[in-house]
């Protein structure tokens, strides 16, 4: 009497047993969709020695967690993970399956889609349920962010999408939430490990995650020289934020790639984004347009960044930024004594 | 070593604009280029060929105009080029595209398949892994460096957000490459001459493939997703722009930061 194809499965990406924020963001979104569909959200937690983390997934909004725990899943490799996810899908028969649009999700999800086979929509920034049909509407940028497209799945179930990190909002952790934990045996054997991972090298210094920053002071080629990054740093410190950059600076080696905002960098949506010497190329805008409040400082009054800025200042950033930092310092000092 | 490189011709998306009246892409006058991740894949293939010998075959699915991109690949040094083209293949999503390309590849001989990680027009990163799945090959995507190439295996550096893996994989396999992998070479004059005079771009149409494919899995019909609607990104209400002295600028910014409770 099993009802076919219901519920939402969310792939819970973890690295070294640490659940990635993108997975919790998607759980948050899936929760909203599940209210509309009146169904359950099920986390698919796949890894090695991972079962203990299932309660975290529930605390963030999942109703159930399907766990596939196996030594072969210790490090990410395409085939064992694909087999595990396909097994979860075959067992649970979800109506929707969602993945993070990350270096893992974008390797795994297409492989799963090929095996089922069914459709997959990449890098979604918006997910909705269509009134009447209950179909999943998957909206994503295309043509370098010039165009948005809303896609529907016309293939076999589940409807599948990868979702960009930093776009959906995770729910507040609630440890009182309860849910069932289902263990699934994917029948993995050594033969499934068809690649040999010789070495895993983790980033030396864990860099700041700009996609989580509430305030960003962002520099572009207009800062002129690398040393001027320090004036952005000082402003960011005064504001309690972080520094990010355009691709021009990342490419020039002024800053690490992880700090790049945009289509090929990170999507950010801070409360405040201060764009200093950034022209506002479409690929840059794609990553920061959804910031709550955008201030742009640029000496060219025709720069496209002014089209998205809430407050635009035409002028020389090397003069304005230090003055602004001073003004904030002064303001804070005055308000502290009051 | 027999290497196949999968390649797509794409509009240079930096030059694409939206027509504000019709809300459609203005492609007129927009140059077409070899997709950057794919070009890095081609460069990697040519380098491997120089190191260990072999052949480099490029395959591309697309409209007849994609011939130009394949000629460019030949001029860079590829040995053979196939253009998979037919009206029946049109309107394909990634599942139908990868089915078509992998079916064509089944007609060829290979040890290693290289695809770009993603194309700049669609940005999906799906076709490479889906081809690997169709062919039943192991895959390593997001390759940022080729460490070693041996007779029966390849060792690559696979990028993640916070780490990399050094992965060894037996041939035949498929890897997807990042544009950071290398600086693609330019076409040589002799290469350009050869690409148009001596070498040819072989067309693979439905006719050639019909024994290998089921028609309902091709093109629009074979697609598992459909574009319901497309629209230009909504610009939010324009803010204010001030051309004032530096001190006034600072005052204006301060007023806003205070108003918005940001300091
Ligand atoms: C496939 C693809 C993907 C891309 N992905 C990204 C991406 O993810 N992120 C990204 O940022 N870019 C991306 N780009 C690049 C993008 O197209 C632009 O080239 C880049 O964003 C430009 O960086 P910029 O604004 O810092 O530099 P520029 O465009 O050179 O702008 C510098 C600006 O600084 C201003 N300026 C100069 N001096 C001063 C001064 N003293 N005071 C104030 N203003 C000053 C100038 O007026 C100018 O507007 C991508 C491109 C492609 C083709």
Condensed to tens digits (0 to 9), the pLDDT of residues B165-188 reads 999 999 999 999 998 899 999 999
Mean of pLDDT over chain B = 93
Condensed to tens digits (0 to 9), the pLDDT of residues A22-52 reads 999 999 999 999 999 999 999 999 999 999 9
At A1, is the pLDDT very low, low, confident or very high (cuts 50, 70, 90)? very low
In this predicted structure, the answer to whether residue B122 has a pLDDT above a threshold of 60 is yes
Determine the Cα–Cα distance for residues B140 and A77; give it in Å rounded to an integer.
Answer: 8
| CA neighbor of B185 nearest in space, from B39, B50, B53 | B39
A111 contacts on B by Cβ (under 8 Å): 129-130, 132-133, 139
CB contact under 8 Å between A309 and B239, yes or no, is yes
Determine the Cα–Cα distance for residues A143 and A149; give it in Å rounded to an integer.
Answer: 10
Which of A114, A307, A323 lies closest to B133 in CB terms?
A114
| CA neighbor of A228 nearest in space, from A130, A143, A316 | A316
A306 contacts on B by Cβ (under 8 Å): 239, 241
Contact between residue B207 and residue A278 where contact means Cβ atoms under 8 Å apart: no
A198 contacts on B by Cβ (under 8 Å): 155, 165-168
Q: Dihedral through CA B247, CA B253, CA B255, CA B261, nearest 10?
A: -150
Determine the Cα–Cα distance for residues B88 and A47; give it in Å rounded to an integer.
Answer: 42
At B234, is the pLDDT very low, low, confident or very high (cuts 50, 70, 90)? low
In this predicted structure, the answer to whether residue A337 has a pLDDT above a threshold of 80 is no
Q: With a 6 A CB cut-off, is A263 part of the ligand 1 pocket?
A: yes
Topology, domain A210-334: Rossmann fold (3.40.50)
Give the pLDDT confidence score for residue B235 in this predicted structure: 57
Condensed to tens digits (0 to 9), the pLDDT of residues A250-287 reads 999 999 988 999 988 888 888 899 999 999 999 999 89
> Could you check whether the bond before residue B172 is cis, i.e. omega within 30 degrees of 0?
yes
Mean of pLDDT over chain A = 93
More confident residue, B238 or A175: A175
The answer to whether domain A8-192 has CATH 3.40.50.970 is no
| CA neighbor of A65 nearest in space, from A113, A5, A12 | A12
B159 contacts on A by Cβ (under 8 Å): 103
A contact residues 255-294, partner B, Cβ 8 Å cutoff:
258, 263, 271-272, 281-283, 286, 289, 293-294
Domains and CATH numbers, chain B: 2-217 (3.40.50.620)
Condensed to tens digits (0 to 9), the pLDDT of residues A220-251 reads 999 999 999 999 999 999 998 999 999 999 99
Alpha helices in B174-245 (DSSP H): 189-197, 206-209
At A2, is the pLDDT very low, low, confident or very high (cuts 50, 70, 90)? very low
Give the pLDDT confidence score for residue A205 in this predicted structure: 41
At B216, is the pLDDT very low, low, confident or very high (cuts 50, 70, 90)? very high
The region of weakest confidence among A63-72, A167-176, B38-47 is: A167-176
How many residues can be counted in chain B? 263
B contact residues 105-134, partner A, Cβ 8 Å cutoff:
120-130, 132-134
Q: Which residue minimizes the CA distance to atom 11 of ligand 1?
A: A246
Q: Is B69 left (phi over 0), alpha (psi -120 to 50) or beta?
A: alpha
Within 8 A by CB and 6+ apart from A283, the residues are: A144, A145, A247, A262, A263, A264, B13, B14
Give the pLDDT confidence score for residue B237 in this predicted structure: 63
The region of weakest confidence among A265-274, A310-319, B13-22 is: B13-22
Give the pLDDT confidence score for residue A335 in this predicted structure: 77
In this predicted structure, the answer to whether residue A66 has a pLDDT above a threshold of 90 is yes
More confident residue, B19 or A148: A148
The region of weakest confidence among A191-195, B138-142, B151-155, B208-212 is: B208-212
Name the minimum distance, in Å, from the CA of A323 to any CA of chain B. 7
Number of residue pairs across A and B with CB atoms under 8 Å? Answer: 259
CA–centroid distance, residue A280 to ligand 1 (Å): 6
Average pLDDT, stretch A312-322? Answer: 97
Query: Which residue among A229, A248, A316 has the greatest number of ligand 1 atoms within 8 angstroms of its CB, and so is best to mutate?
Result: A248
Q: In chain A, which residues fall in CATH 3.40.50.620? A: 8-192
Condensed to tens digits (0 to 9), the pLDDT of residues A75-121 reads 999 999 999 999 999 999 999 999 999 999 999 999 999 999 999 99
> Could you check whether the bond before residue B102 is cis, i.e. omega within 30 degrees of 0?
no
A156 contacts on B by Cβ (under 8 Å): 224
A144 in contact with B at a CB cutoff of 8 Å? yes
**What percent of chain A stands above pLDDT 70?**
97
Q: With a 6 A CB cut-off, is B246 part of the ligand 1 pocket?
A: no
Mutate which of A130, A162, A195 to test chain B, going by most B C-beta atoms within 10 A? A195
Q: With a 6 A CB cut-off, is A316 part of the ligand 1 pocket?
A: yes
Contact between residue B125 and residue A106 where contact means Cβ atoms under 8 Å apart: yes
In this predicted structure, the answer to whether residue B81 has a pLDDT above a threshold of 90 is yes
CB contact under 8 Å between A150 and B227, yes or no, is yes
A141 contacts on B by Cβ (under 8 Å): 123, 233
CB contact under 8 Å between A15 and B164, yes or no, is no
ipTM at complex level = 0.89
Collapsed DSSP state (helix, strand, coil) of residue A185: coil
Burial of B260 (0-12, 13-18, 19+ CB in 10 A): middle
Q: With a 6 A CB cut-off, is A228 part of the ligand 1 pocket?
A: no
Average pLDDT, stretch A7-13? Answer: 98
CB contact under 8 Å between A152 and B223, yes or no, is no
């Amino acid at each position: 009497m099993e009802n076919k194809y219901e519920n939402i499965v969310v792939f819970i990406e973890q690295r070294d047993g640490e659940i990635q924020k993108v997975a919790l963001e998607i759980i948050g979104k899936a929760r909203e969709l599940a209210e509309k569909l009146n169904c359950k959200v099920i986390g698919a937690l796949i890894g090695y020695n991972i079962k203990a983390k299932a309660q975290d997934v529930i605390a963030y909004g999942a109703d159930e967690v399907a766990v596939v725990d196996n030594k072969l899943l210790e490090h990410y490799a395409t085939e064992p993970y694909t087999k595990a996810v396909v097994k979860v899908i075959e067992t649970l028969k979800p109506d929707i399956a969602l993945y993070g649009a990350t270096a893992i999700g974008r390797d795994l999800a297409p492989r799963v889609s090929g095996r089922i086979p069914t459709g997959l929509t990449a890098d979604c920034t918006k997910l909705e349920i269509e009134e009447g049909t209950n179909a999943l509407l998957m909206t994503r940028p295309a043509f370098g962010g010039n165009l948005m497209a809303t896609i529907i799945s016309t293939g076999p179930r589940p409807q599948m999408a990868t979702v960009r990190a930093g776009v959906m909002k995770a729910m507040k952790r609630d440890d009182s939430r309860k849910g069932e934990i289902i263990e699934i045996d994917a029948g993995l054997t050594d033969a499934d490990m068809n690649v040999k991972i010789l070495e895993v090298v983790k980033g030396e210094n864990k860099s700041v995650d700009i996609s989580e920053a509430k305030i960003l002071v962002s520099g572009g080629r207009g800062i002129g020289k690398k040393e001027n990054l320090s004036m952005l740093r000082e402003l960011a410190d005064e504001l309690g934020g972080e520094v990010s950059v355009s691709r021009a600076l990342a490419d020039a080696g002024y800053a690490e790639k992880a700090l790049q905002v945009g289509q090929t960098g990170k999507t950010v949506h801070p409360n405040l984004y201060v764009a200093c010497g950034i022209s506002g190329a479409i690929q840059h805008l794609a990553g920061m347009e959804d910031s709550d409040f955008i201030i742009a400082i640029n000496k060219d009054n025709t720069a496209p960044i002014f089209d998205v800025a809430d407050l635009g200042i035409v002028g020389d950033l090397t003069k304005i930024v230090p003055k602004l930092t001073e003004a904030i310092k002064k303001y804070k000092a005055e308000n502290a004594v009051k | 070593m027999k290497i196949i490189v999968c390649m797509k011709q794409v509009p240079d998306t930096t030059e694409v604009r939206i027509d504000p009246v019709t809300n459609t892409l203005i492609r007129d006058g927009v140059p077409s280029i070899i997709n950057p991740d794919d070009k890095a894949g081609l460069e990697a293939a040519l380098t491997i060929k120089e190191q260990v010998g072999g052949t480099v075959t490029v395959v591309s699915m697309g409209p007849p105009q994609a011939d130009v991109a394949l000629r460019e690949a030949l001029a860079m040094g590829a040995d053979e080029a196939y253009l998979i083209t037919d009206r029946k293949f049109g309107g394909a999503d990634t599942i139908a595209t990868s089915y078509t390309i992998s079916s064509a590849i089944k007609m060829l001989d290979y040890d290693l398949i290289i695809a770009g990680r993603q194309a700049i027009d669609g940005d999906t990163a799906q076709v490479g892994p889906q081809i690997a799945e169709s062919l039943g090959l192991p895959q390593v995507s997001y390759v940022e460096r080729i460490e070693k190439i041996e007779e029966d295996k390849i060792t690559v550096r696979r990028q993640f957000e916070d780490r990399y893996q050094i992965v060894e994989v037996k041939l035949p396999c498929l890897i997807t490459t990042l544009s950071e992998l290398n600086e693609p070479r330019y076409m040589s004059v002799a290469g350009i001459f050869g690409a148009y005079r001596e070498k040819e771009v072989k067309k693979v149409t439905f006719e050639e493939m019909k024994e290998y494919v089921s028609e309902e899995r091709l093109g629009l019909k074979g697609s598992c997703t459909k574009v319901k609607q497309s629209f230009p990104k909504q610009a939010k209400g324009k803010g204010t722009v001030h051309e004032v002295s530096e001190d006034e600028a600072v005052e204006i910014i301060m007023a806003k930061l205070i108003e918005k409770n940001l300091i």
